[in-house]
Every structure is written in structure tokens, then in C-alpha cells.
Amino acid sequence: MNSLSDTAHASRVRPYANAFTLIELLVVCVISGVLAALLLAALIKSTSSAQRIKCVNNLRQLGLATQM
């Protein structure tokens, strides 16, 4: 009988044991924000690199055209 009252007492102390706390949700939001910022920076860098490669290729094609 004592073990029954202990489990009933434990469930009353913390009824939302499986719920997330506000701090945990804020930590998840901050981590996802940092990852999004890193991804955006990499995307901008790759876009500028692609623009540079395209420009170099166009200059190469113009050089080949003038040589012919």
C-alpha cells in the first residue's frame, strides 16, 4: 500500500514530465538560428564563386573567339 501512495505522490509532483520547458525550446530555437545563419553564409559564398567562374569562362570564350 505504501508503494501505491508513493507513485500517486510522484505523479502529482510533476504531472507534465514529458513536456518541454521554455528554456529547452529557446535553446533549440537558438541552435537552429545559428545553423540557418551558417547555411546562408555558405550559400552566399557559393553564389559569388559561381558568378566568378562564369565570368572567367566568358573571358576565356572571348579570348578563343578573337584568336580564331
- Number of folded domains in the chain? 1
Question: Cα–Cα distance between 58 and 7 in angstroms, integer?
Answer: 75
Write the pLDDT tens digit of every residue in 15-63. 666 777 899 999 999 999 999 999 999 998 898 899 999 999 999 999 9
Rounded CA gap, 43 and 45, in Å? 5
* Structural domain that includes position 48: 2-67
Q: Return the C-alpha cell found at 53.
A: 567562374
Give the separation between CA 60 and CA 68, rounded to whole angstroms: 13
Q: Letter for the amino acid at 34?
A: V
Q: What is the pTM of this model?
A: 0.52
The reported pLDDT for the residue numbered 54 is 96
